[in-house]
Chain A
């Protein structure tokens, strides 16, 4: 499954890519922002950083059994600090479809588009 985030900044594109990751599993509009998790990662370049970011989110989803509906990211020199808000998986309400296994390097891109907006995308193995 491909995820693609777009935003006015690279950080916003990363936030939207993570929201797309949630949408692979369930409708983010059905998830309540009841708890907050902090995440941090760094990588040699922004593309690897996107993969690391999404994998950090997957790790938190898997080990805490939560879904996230809102993300905040700040970026500096290929270092990311992030926050994610969400709640425990509620099978009846969320009807979660599939577990993401890991973010991959397939169709991986982080770039500024001609219109000045940012795009962050890759394929997630499910």
Chain B
């Protein structure tokens, strides 16, 4: 990226002043190397977001920002309904409430290592993953609506997991304001037999070991110690979320002119928050958040079933569940006032600082846990929200490493069989129904997650707590 338009506010915070149609500046959190390595499209897309009605303070981009559809992935933007603010389907993305949850096995990694092969095979057999996979549930219309209203709470009510899980999920496992009636029949049809499925692409289930602790006190509050074994699940709202994103993106793109919104890019499709379509989208999008929470809850139950069989001494309490494609109403300081604003995070994680009332009591003083996904062969990270982050970008942090090359290029460079063998030689067992999918997701196809995490830490967005390394990876 050409960074000549940016001025450094700190070594990891850069500002591009508002010009032309921009209502607010662009602020990117990254060190100079990451910033220069970003695609020029990130600057262009963040500037386009800065021109949307009702945006406040700045159009932000996280250290892992890369070219998205309309909004950059890694983009954060808040809109004030009192200033004509908008809600954007493009600002949330197709995979609504895609996120990561992390479970502690209660075991040391050497206990897992002893049964690694068997555990990998059993998880692969039990977790529906990949194109065309279906779950055990088939949701009839009434059950579908109950799921869309109830989220993870609905799943727990059916026996998937424990009530104790709910307090470790954002929104208590149930997004308020969901309106199943706003979700189309097409979207519901896509989800009918996809509950409890992992999906494909960059989604995964990993058994990981805690390789490094960077902040002992916060790690202890999260229940993490070096050598522990944990399980991370990365997936979202499956076909239902994709369909809602598709439908509202189109409707908002077509209706923007009637709301006198000039879109520099159709992917920025948005509508005034108080408009009929805006409210309809919010109801549907919140239902999709519940779908994602329920999906990860069912997968958690399946993981526990496998561990109960292979490692019966494992307990698998949920550490936390975070989403990274959302729009939520939050109360933040804007200038001298506290206001309710609509915070869009697209490929960005909520990272509330210590003491925030939305963080579960047991974790509140440590800050909100943030999970940064790696790839099959690279580390993932646990971070914690900071007080400073609340004033930087509404308590937000990065979500992953981001791709460094296209799937085509990855397929040209690596074979699935080769990637599986190479990782096995490093002690990482990969199980996937698709070798082509494995090649496309080769660790080398992703950017350096370490640099992204370090930049987030140095910028003050979130504090680095622990590094996780994969032992088993189930890919779709």
Contact = CB atoms under 8 A, between A and B. Distances in A.
Contact of A97 (B189, B267, B406, B440): B440
Interface in A97-126: 97-99, 101-106, 108, 123, 125-126
Contact of B200 (A99, A102, A103, A106): A99
A22 B229 CA distance: 39
B253 interface: yes
A95 B190 contact: no
Contacts of B249: 102, 104-105
Interface string A24-46: 11100000000000000000100
B302 to A, nearest CB: 19
Contacts of A89: 131-132
B328 interface: no
B227 interface: no
Contacts of A63: 189-190, 192, 239
A98 B250 contact: no
B243 A98 contact: no
Contacts of A123: 69
B377 interface: no
Contacts of A105: 69-70, 249, 253, 265-267, 269
A125 B243 CA distance: 12
Given A59-B190, A126-B201, A98 B95 contact: no
In this complex, the interface size class of chain A, counting residues with CB under 8 Å from chain B, is: 20 to 34
B437 A51 contact: no
Contacts, number: 105
B130 A65 contact: no
A55 interface: yes
A91 B435 CA distance: 11
Contacts of A103: 246
Contacts of B436: 26, 95-97
A98 B437 contact: yes
B245 A101 contact: yes
Interface string A79-91: 0000000001101
Interface in B393-409: 406-408
A98 B435 contact: no
A98 B436 CA distance: 9
Contact of B406 (A1, A44, A58, A99): A1
A103 to B, nearest CB: 8
Contacts of A55: 246
Contacts of B189: 63
A126 B94 CA distance: 9
A102 to B, nearest CB: 4
A105 B48 CA distance: 15
Given A59-B190, A62-B239, A63-B189, A98 B407 contact: yes
27 contacts: A26-B436, A48-B250, A58-B242, A58-B246, A63-B239, A65-B134, A95-B435, A96-B130, A96-B131, A96-B200, A96-B433, A96-B436, A97-B407, A97-B440, A98-B131, A98-B200, A98-B476, A99-B201, A101-B246, A102-B245, A102-B246, A104-B69, A104-B267, A105-B69, A105-B265, A108-B266, A126-B201
Which 10 pairs, one residue from A and one from B, show the smallest C-beta to C-beta distance? A89-B132, A96-B131, A105-B266, A101-B242, A102-B246, A97-B437, A97-B436, A101-B94, A65-B132, A104-B69
Interface of A: 1, 24-26, 44, 48, 51-52, 55, 58-59, 62-63, 65, 88-89, 91, 94-99, 101-106, 108, 123, 125-126
